[in-house]
C-alpha cells in the first residue's frame, strides 16, 4: 500500500513509518520539521517538506504521490501549552487535520488513520478507560482531537472516508538504538529521568506525593512505541471492514516513583529526586483499556514490562545524548 504519513519525522510517526517500510509498504513522509527530525525519517521513505496549513502544498503532494491511505500524526501535542495557547490547538490542529481530510476526499483517498489521545476523557468516570467512557476532553489539545474524530465520523457517513482513531496516553521507549525520543522542550517523564542519569539535569521533581495511590505519586499508563506502531499497522489493515475507534493501553499503570526506581536499576545511576507541589488538574490514576483492540485485531503489547521500556530508551539516550543532532 502507498501510505502518506504526516508527522513522520516525529517520535511516533517515524516509528510507524519505519514499521510500514519493513512490512512492504511504499511510504511518503510529510513533515514541516518544526518538531520532527529529518534524520528520523526512514531512508526508504520519500520525504516531502511541507506544512499542512498550506492547502496548495497538501493538494500537490496527494496529486503527485497518489497515496491509498493517510496516517495523521502531525499535531501540537502539549496539554499544558494548549491551556496557555488554546487557539494554537483549536485553530491550527483542527485546520491542519481538516485540510488533510478535504484533500483526501478530493483525491479519492478512502483510508484515514488518526493518532488521537486519551486526553479525550479528562478526569474519567472509571479506570481503566474503555471506549464507552464519557468523552469530556481535559484540555484544548484533547478537544482538538475530538473535533477531528467527529469530522472523520461525518466524512465516513457522507464521503465514504473509512477511518480509525487510536487513543493513548504515554508513548515511551525507543524503537532501536538509533531511533528514539527527542523533544525540545522535553516534557515526558521517562526521558527526563534519563537526562538526570546522563547528568543533563540536576534532579527529577515529583509533582505531588499525597495522591490516593499505593505510594502517593500519580500512576500512568506507558506503552512501548513499537507496540503502538504495531497497533497502527493492524488498524490500518482492518479498515477494509469499516471504521473503528480504539483505546490503547499497556494494561498496567506505573507510579512516578516506580518509574524513577526502575530507571535507577536499569541505569545504575543514583538519579536524585525531590518532591514538589502537585500540578493542578492531575488525576491520581490514568490507565487505558485495550480490551476492544485485543478482541478485534489480536493486538497485545510485546514490550510491556517497564524495565524493557526504560531499557530501550536508555540505550538510545546513551548512544545519542543529544538526540538526532549530528545524525545524517
> Any catalytic annotation for residue 141?
yes
Cell 501540537 identifies what position?
A: 76
* CA dist., res. 25 & res. 232, Å (int): 13
| Antiparallel, parallel or unpaired: β 219-220 and 254-255 | antiparallel
The 3-state DSSP composition of the chain as helix, strand, coil percent (nearest 5) reads 40, 20, 40
* CA dist., res. 328 & res. 316, Å (int): 16
Nearby residues of 43 by Cβ (< 8 Å), 6 or more positions away = none
- Which 8-state DSSP code applies to residue 38? G
Choosing from 11, 89, 141, 211, the catalytic residue is 141
| Antiparallel, parallel or unpaired: β 244-247 and 162-167 | parallel
* Start-to-end CA span in the chain (Å): 27
Cα dist from 286 to 38, 74, 76, 121, 222, whole Å: 33, 24, 21, 10, 10
* CA dist., res. 197 & res. 30, Å (int): 34
Q: Which residues are catalytic?
A: 141
Amino acid at each position: 500500500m502507498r501510505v502518506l504519513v504526516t508527522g513522520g519525522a516525529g517520535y511516533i510517526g517515524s516509528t510507524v513509518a519505519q514499521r510500514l517500510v519493513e512490512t512492504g509498504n511504499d511510504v511518503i513522509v510529510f513533515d514541516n520539521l518544526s518538531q520532527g527530525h529529518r534524520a528520523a525519517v526512514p531512508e526508504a521513505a520519500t520525504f516531502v517538506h511541507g506544512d499542512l496549513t498550506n492547502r496548495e502544498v497538501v493538494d500537490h503532494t496527494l496529486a503527485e504521490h497518489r497515496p491509498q491511505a493517510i496516517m495523521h500524526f502531525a499535531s501540537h501535542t502539549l496539554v499544558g501549552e494548549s491551556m496557555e495557547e488554546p487557539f494554537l490547538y483549536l485553530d491550527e490542529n483542527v485546520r491542519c487535520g481538516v485540510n488533510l481530510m478535504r484533500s483526501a476526499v478530493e483525491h479519492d483517498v478512502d483510508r484515514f488513520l488518526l493518532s488521537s489521545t486519551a486526553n479525550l476523557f479528562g478526569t474519567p468516570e472509571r479506570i481503566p478507560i474503555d471506549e464507552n467512557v464519557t468523552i469530556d476532553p481535559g484540555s484544548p489539545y484533547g478537544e482538538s482531537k475530538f473535533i477531528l474524530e467527529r469530522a472523520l465520523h461525518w466524512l465516513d457517513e457522507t464521503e465514504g472516508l473509512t477511518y480509525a482513531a487510536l487513543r493513548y496516553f504515554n508513548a515511551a521507549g525507543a524503537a532501536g538504538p538509533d531511533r528514539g525520543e527527542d523533544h525540545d522542550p522535553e516534557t515526558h517523564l521517562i526521558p527526563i529521568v534519563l537526562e538526570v542519569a546522563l547528568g543533563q539535569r540536576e534532579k527529577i521533581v515529583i509533582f505531588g506525593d499525597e495522591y490516593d495511590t499505593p505510594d502517593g505519586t500519580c500512576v500512568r499508563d506507558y506503552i512501548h512505541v513499537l507496540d503502538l506502531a504495531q497497533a497502527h499497522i493492524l488498524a490500518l489493515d482492518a479498515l477494509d471492514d469499516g471504521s473503528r475507534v480504539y483505546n490503547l493501553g499497556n494494561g498496567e499503570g506505573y507510579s512516578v516513583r516506580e518509574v524513577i526506581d526502575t530507571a535507577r536499576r536499569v541505569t545504575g545511576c543514583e538519579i536524585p529526586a525531590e518532591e514538589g507541589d502537585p500540578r493542578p488538574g492531575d488525576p491520581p490514576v490514568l490507565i487505558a483499556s485495550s480490551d476492544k483492540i485485543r478482541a478485534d485485531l489480536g493486538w497485545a503489547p510485546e514490550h510491556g514490562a517497564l524495565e524493557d521500556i526504560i531499557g530501550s530508551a536508555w540505550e538510545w539516550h546513551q548512544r545519542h545524548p543529544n538526540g538526532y543532532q549530528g545524525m545524517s
